[in-house]
Amino acid sequence: MSLDQRLTAQFALEVGVTRTANFSMPATVDRDLDRFTELVITLAISAATHTSETYDLYITTGDGYSQWDIIHFPQIASTGAKTFTARITSQNQIPTNVTTANPGVSANDSAIFQTDTAGANQGIKTLGAGIVRHAPWGDRIGYELVCAGGGSPSITYTISVQGR
């Protein structure tokens, strides 16, 4: 198959949504993502309030039995519009996580993830801020938003996904 004939998909996971508290979209949006070898996921923030609030957004994946993080975008701790794009690959990869350092610093992940508990082991909400995880991902996608701090949090964003 030539490059211009390969399978692709593009869709919005969320469009212009505003959240004022923690939110969970479990990795149940079935998009057959496991057929792709690369995902490009963009978080476009159009507004975020900030007095003492921070926002953490995790992109999660799953296989129908469990879920795990594939992206934890950099923590949002300021107002204003900003856009972050993450690219992850699965082809011929040892499970690896990569930081936002320049150049990125990589570390091999365990060959087996324990994904039964959110916030522990390799379950959801465990990947550090600004880190992506290359391989594996399931056929489903979702996300977790964690709003922390005092005040009245409010964040407006769009999440788009492209599979290749």
Pairing of strands 96-98, 131-134: antiparallel
Confidence category of residue 1, pLDDT binned at 50, 70, 90: very low
What confidence tens digit (pLDDT) does each residue in 102-150 have? 888 888 887 788 888 777 788 899 999 999 998 778 899 999 999 998 8
Q: How far apart are CA 73 and CA 70, in angstroms?
A: 10
DSSP one-letter code for 102: S
- What angle is formed at CA 135 by the lines to CA 30 and CA 164, rounded to 5 degrees? 60
Asked whether 137 and 69 are in contact (CB, 8 A), the reply is: no
52 C-beta neighbours (distance < 10 Å), count: 10
CA 112 remoteness from chain centre: 20
Q: Is the pLDDT of residue 156 over 90?
A: yes
For residues 118 and 133, what is the distance between their CA atoms, to the nearest angstrom? 16
Residue 92 — pLDDT band, cuts 50, 70, 90? low
Question: How much is the average pLDDT of 150-156?
Answer: 88
Q: Residue 121: which residues within 8 A CB-CB, separation 6 or more?
A: 113, 114, 115
Question: How many other CB atoms are found less than 10 A from the CB of residue 37?
Answer: 16
Q: For residue 136, is the peptide bond before it cis, meaning its omega torsion is within 30 degrees of 0? A: yes
